[in-house]
Structure formats: structure tokens, C-alpha cells
Amino acid sequence: MSQPIIVIGAGIVGISTAIWLRRVGKEVLVLDRAEVGMGTSYGNGGVLAASGMVPVTSPGLAAKGPKLLLDKNFPLYLRWPYLPRLYPWLRKYLSHANDADTRRIAKGLTEITSDTIEQHAALLSGTTAEKWLTHSDYTFAYKDRAAFEADAYTFGLRAEAGFTPEIIEGAAVQEYEPALGKGATLLAVMKNHGHIKDPAGYVQALAEVLKAEGGEVRQAEVKDFELVEGRVKAVITNQGRMECETVVLTTGVWSKPLMKKLGLNIPLETERGYHVVFKNPSQTLRNPFMIAAGKFVATPMVGGLRCAGIVEFGGLKAGPSKAPLEFLYRKVKETFPALKYESTEEWLGHRPAPADSLPLIGQIGRTGIYTGFGHHHIGLTGGPKTGRMLADIIANKRSNRDFTAFDPMRFTKPKS
């Protein structure tokens, strides 16, 4: 009897991978230490950012970074005691803040993001999960034209990938979106995007699709791998040893310690992100907005208006910080001055940030262990595409895609 492919991680990438593997005829078992969809996938901004291929490390970031850390009006935070541990990763990360690397990274990310709507639709087609996907614009709100033009480099890269915004200015801004205060005087509207009305509900619905198609989902924590002659034979979990044909590792930032079990030290950090859901809001939005002044996304969802963003470095163990949440509340009040609500839900999560901003997708040597993590800000956007890519690789389907940019072996080599 053949053994299953074990997918470690029940977020959007893991569940998408498992569904596509089932659809090419593979036996699949998904393992996660927590409930389905309740990790990083739970708390994102919900946007399917087709034009989200530009990395944070654009030219000039290294010079601006220290100043931004001290700017109370910029959503960048650091728990200073964590800096010594962060520094080796941060140095590598900032080394990519130049034009050549930014363009190289953007080209790689375009492969993951640009057809996100089509990829989600293909994953969902004919299933009970279709109701969670909404086709919509994705609108960037700016204080004025000068603020928009300050982002010309980013919009130039988006345009090269085929995404050019429609510009709305003046009084037409509030006609387009009445909830916006008068502090927003220019909108850059990106067409052909989409959003998910409840990311956790969406991933849980996909898990039910997987089960209906013959896959299995089980709660268990993977501790180690068992390799025989260099190839995976089983995973060792808190519920015992489980044999497998192949393993796919899709546990976001928690993939790093498991990679270390294979002798690979991946420069991967947690970029701590926050959200606040304003429940039963007096106003809603026609589509998701990126509020440039606060670098946060505001998305209409089933549970209310979700405002998500913030970049904080402080590791996996520390609890939420007050300052990032205070910043988010302040910026939401400035952006939507008439907004009223019954209550709020606050959340802290962990974006998996590789030093070069590119996800790790592919096989680790010839071990039979494959990776699908490190999506930074594009996990929900790129989950179904990543899953399809991995299923094709594992099933030996022919592809004209170049996966070199995502090679999980690009940072280091296994110990001999």
C-alpha cells in the first residue's frame, strides 16, 4: 500500500497544495499543530493583490530605515532587545534595497501574484467555497498628488507587469467612497483584483473541499523527519511516527526550525503584523483600500471592517505591543472620521519574511521534502498558485516555468 504525501501546515498554501495534489491523483494527509486556517492565514487583509509584486526593499530603504523607526507617523516598530538576534537577517534583507535586486525580485513575485484571481477561481470552481471569493477593485488612497508621485517607482514596476491605475482626484474621491474623510484627495484604482470576505472561513471551507475530494486533515505537531539514504521516509510528530511518500512544508515562519532539522539555516524572520476588526460598522467600503498615509489595508468582511498592517520586528514569543495598535486606531480615525462601531477584535500574526523577499518553492535536494513557505505579504494572494506549482513539480508535470528564483537551496547547503 502506498504512503500518503504529508503536507505540514493547514493555512492557505498548505490546503491549496493538498487540493491540487488530490486532483493529480495523490493520497494526501495535512497535518497542523493548530486548527485549520487559524495561523497567519487567519488575520491578513484579505486582498488578492495581483499587483502586489513589488518588495518592501525598494531602493533607498536602507538609508531611510532608521529615520522611519523614529517616526511616530510611520508603521514600523522594533522591540529593541530583539535587535542583536534580528541584525544578521536585517543586514541581508537591506542589501536587496537597490534597483537591480528590486526588479529581479519583482519579476519573481509577478509569477506568483499576477494571475491570483484566475488561480483562486480555478481552485474553487464548482465547490462550496466559491462564495468566499469577491471580484473587486483594489484602491490606493493618497493625501494628495505629491504623495502619489512619491510612489512613482513602485507604480512603474506595477505598470511593467501590466497593472496601471485609474486616477480619481478632488471631490470625485468621496463620490467614489463616501466613508473616506477629506484627508484623501487622490485615489489610484487598480482593476481586476479581488478579496476574501473571511480568510479563516475561506481556508476552513477549502479544507472541507479537500476532505470531500478524498484528502485528510489531522491535528498534530511535526517535530522531525526520518530520512533513509537521504530520502524522507516518515515524519515524527507529537502523536507518533507517520510514514509518507513525500513531504510538503508549508508552515510559514515556523518552517525555519524544521529546515534546521535538515541542516539548512534559512534567513527567515517573522514580520509581526496586526489587525483590528471594527464590528457592526456604521460604514462599509465598496472594495479594499490601501491607505498610503498609514500603510494599512481596510477591507469589508463578513465580521466587520478589517484594518490590517504594521511592520514590527520582535520575534515569535513576545505578545502584542501597544504602540502599533494605537497607531492603527489613530490612522483609522483620521481616514474614516465618521466611522462608528459596536466593538473591536485585535490580532497579532507573523508574516514569514525571507531575506530576499521571495518564497521558497521546490524540493530540498533529492530528499522528497518540498517547500512552500516564505510568502511575506502575498500568502493569501499566492497560495493557490504555489499549491498548483508544487503539485505539478511533485507529479512530474512538464512546465516551461523557471523555478530558480524560488529554489529552497539558494541560501545554504545541507550539512554533509
* DSSP one-letter string for 204-260: HHHHHHHHHTT-EEEE--EEEEEEETTEEEEEEETTEEEE-SEEEE--GGGHHHHHH
Residue closest to 141 by CA, chosen among 117, 175, 171, 177: 177
Q: What is the pTM of this model?
A: 0.95
Task: Name the pLDDT band for 397 (thresholds 50, 70, 90).
Answer: confident
For residue range 221-274, list pLDDT tens digits in order.
Answer: 999 999 999 999 999 999 999 999 999 999 999 999 999 999 999 999 999 999
pLDDT digits (tens, 9 = 90+) for 340-371: 999 999 999 999 999 999 999 999 999 999 99
CA atoms 63, 68, 74, 76: torsion sign: positive
Cβ pair 263, 415 in contact under 8 A: yes
Q: CB within 8 A of 257, min separation 6: which ones? A: none
Closest among 156, 143, 148 to 59, alpha carbons compared: 156
The single-letter DSSP state of residue 82 is G
CA 221 – CA 31 distance, rounded (Å) = 7
How confident is residue 72, by pLDDT bands cut at 50, 70 and 90? confident
Burial of residue 103 (number of CB atoms within 10 Å: 0-12, 13-18, 19+): middle
pLDDT over 60 (residue 413): no
The three three-digit cell numbers of residue 144, written as one number? 494628495
Structural domains of the chain ordered from first start: 5-43+201-264+357-406 (3.50.50.60), 53-99+131-194+268-354 (3.30.9.10)
pLDDT at 415 over 50: no
- Other C-beta atoms within 10 Å of 346: how many? 13
By the 10 Å C-beta count (0-12 exposed, 13-18 middle, 19+ buried), 148 is classed as buried
Query: Do the Cβ atoms of 202 and 208 come closer than 8 Å?
Result: no
pLDDT tens-digit series, residues 275-291 = 999 999 999 999 999 99
Q: Which phi and psi angles does 195 have, rounded to 5°?
A: -150, 165
Please determine, for residue 394, whether its predicted confidence score (pLDDT) is greater than 90: yes
